[in-house]
Amino acid sequence: MRTIQGPALFLAQFVGDGAPFNSWDGLTGWAASCGYSGVQVPSWDARLFDLFRAAESKDYCDEFAGVAADSGVVITELSAHLQGQLVAVHPAYDEIFDGFAAPEVRGNPKARREWAVDQVRRAIDASRNLGIDALAVFSGALAWPYVYPWPQRPAGLIETAFDELARRWLPLLDHAEEKGVDLCFEIHPGEDLHDGASFEMFLERVGGHARAKMLYDPSHYLLQGLDYLANIDIYHERIGMFHVKDAELNPTGRQGVYGGYQSWADRAGRFRSLGDGQIDFGAIFSKLAHRDFGGWAVVEWECALKHPEDGAREGAAFVRDHIIRVTERAFDDFAGSGADEAANRRILGLEG
């Protein structure tokens, strides 16, 4: 068994226009001051990271990582969530998701998709140049508008959507294989890969590709009513990343899982800062330790109530207190009597 690494912090929710959140050295120094030993980097945010240079220059990546090291943190992974989202977009979401793309490809779904694919390829290359073997992504979604089967879905609609999703991602998975980088799809509502069953549908279509992994975030499972502990037992060999995020689901007579179109603060299901929700992280960290997950525990702060800086500081201590330093010996080794095959056979009555 391996000890989980951490705590680390996903920086996407903390980048801002004011110090210390508007520069790479400022933000990494702040994260270290909160108690983090690693950071996960949003590859789309040019205020922190030049993806084009990182994909092409090992020297740039060494310098970028060096600044983080001087602050006292390491780069755990890159994230290409927003670019991955644009690999597959249903037309109903074209205008809403255009904001994730470069201005020159907005309003042109084909050009936007090509841009997104190139971005993910570059993020894979940049990961390799940083010496990182995993990249966080969203799958995008072609079938999500039809997640609830009313009106009745036409026969073959979902199969066609997943065939196309796999066709778009397979070249990227093959490129990831060439570079030695896992693509960790965050299992997330709004994506076609939103639970274990949908991940399996995708995995079957990409031939069980070795680089297709999961980003495990229990908050998204709790809000779906999915067993987030059993999920680890089922998919532990495919879990490549871990977002530590809390949530609560408090259904009422007025609303449940779907939330009644209310704001995050007023939904029955909402994200909370670590320790303020309903997720049993003691059991999760135990499961992951038992299943030999050796990656990073990365705090993703999302909370409808608490200030982000408070959530971040509390989150670092929360994760540190939950990481299990795995044992190197059995607790009852003191009572061991050694190995003796002849004695074993006598004990079992196998002599004579």
In angstroms, what CA-CA distances link 245 with 10, 23, 321? 11, 25, 15
What's the mean pLDDT when you consider all of the chain?
96
Structural contact between residues 55 and 125, judged by C-beta atoms closer than 8 angstroms: yes
Evaluate whether residue 352 is within a structural domain.
no
Tokens representing 93 are 């979401």
Evaluate whether residue 188 is within a structural domain.
yes
Taking alpha carbons only, the member of 266, 234, 233 closest to residue 252 is 266
User: Which helix H or strand E contains 122, and what residues bound it?
Assistant: helix 109-129
pLDDT tens, residue by residue, 17-68: 999 999 999 999 999 999 999 999 999 999 999 999 999 999 999 999 999 9
Structural contact between residues 271 and 219, judged by C-beta atoms closer than 8 angstroms: yes
Q: Is the pLDDT of residue 2 over 90?
A: yes
In angstroms, what CA-CA distances link 319 with 30, 60, 216, 243, 298? 17, 31, 15, 11, 9
Reported confidence tier of residue 4, pLDDT bands at 50, 70, 90? very high
Q: Is the pLDDT of residue 101 over 90?
A: yes
Reported confidence tier of residue 337, pLDDT bands at 50, 70, 90? confident
Reported confidence tier of residue 346, pLDDT bands at 50, 70, 90? confident
Tokens representing 90 are 């249903």
Burial level of 322, CB count in 10 A (0-12/13-18/19+)?
A: buried
What pLDDT shows up at residue 231?
98
If one counts every other C-beta atom within 10 angstroms of the C-beta of residue 291, the result is: 15
If one counts every other C-beta atom within 10 angstroms of the C-beta of residue 94, the result is: 14
Q: Cα–Cα distance between 214 and 197 in angstroms, integer? A: 13
Taking alpha carbons only, the member of 204, 195, 268, 266 closest to residue 228 is 195
Q: Cα–Cα distance between 2 and 327 in angstroms, integer? A: 9
Taking alpha carbons only, the member of 213, 225, 211 closest to residue 181 is 211
Q: Is the pLDDT of residue 352 over 70?
A: no
* Sign of the C-alpha dihedral computed for residues 230, 231, 232 and 234 taken in this order: positive
Q: Which residue has the higher pLDDT, 331 or 14?
A: 14
What pLDDT shows up at residue 31?
98
Q: Cα–Cα distance between 31 and 302 in angstroms, integer? A: 16
Q: Cα–Cα distance between 114 and 335 in angstroms, integer? A: 63
CA angle 203, 148, 201 (to 5 degrees): 10
- CA 270 to centroid of chain Cα atoms: 18
Burial level of 250, CB count in 10 A (0-12/13-18/19+)?
A: exposed
What pLDDT shows up at residue 27?
98
Alpha helices in the chain (DSSP H): 24-33, 51-56, 58-71, 81-85, 94-97, 109-129, 157-179, 196-205, 218-222, 228-235, 281-290, 308-322, 341-347
What pLDDT shows up at residue 342?
85
Domain count, the chain: 1
Q: Cα–Cα distance between 41 and 77 in angstroms, integer? A: 6
**Largest distance between two CA atoms of the chain:** 85
CATH number at residue 238: 3.20.20.150
Mean pLDDT of the 339-347 span: 84
28: domain range? Answer: 5-347
pLDDT tens, residue by residue, 237-258: 999 999 999 999 999 999 999 9
Reduce the DSSP state of residue 246 to 3 states and report it. Answer: strand
Q: Which residue has the higher pLDDT, 133 or 345?
A: 133
Q: Is the pLDDT of residue 108 over 80?
A: yes
Q: For residue 158, give every residue at least 6 positions away whose Cβ sits within 8 Å of its Cβ, in sequence order, or none.
A: 143, 146, 201
Structural contact between residues 301 and 271, judged by C-beta atoms closer than 8 angstroms: no
Evaluate whether residue 206 is within a structural domain.
yes
pLDDT tens, residue by residue, 177-227: 999 999 999 999 999 999 999 999 999 999 999 999 999 999 999 999 999
Q: Cα–Cα distance between 6 and 289 in angstroms, integer? A: 13
Please, which residues bridge with residue 77 across strands? 40
Type of residue at 279: I
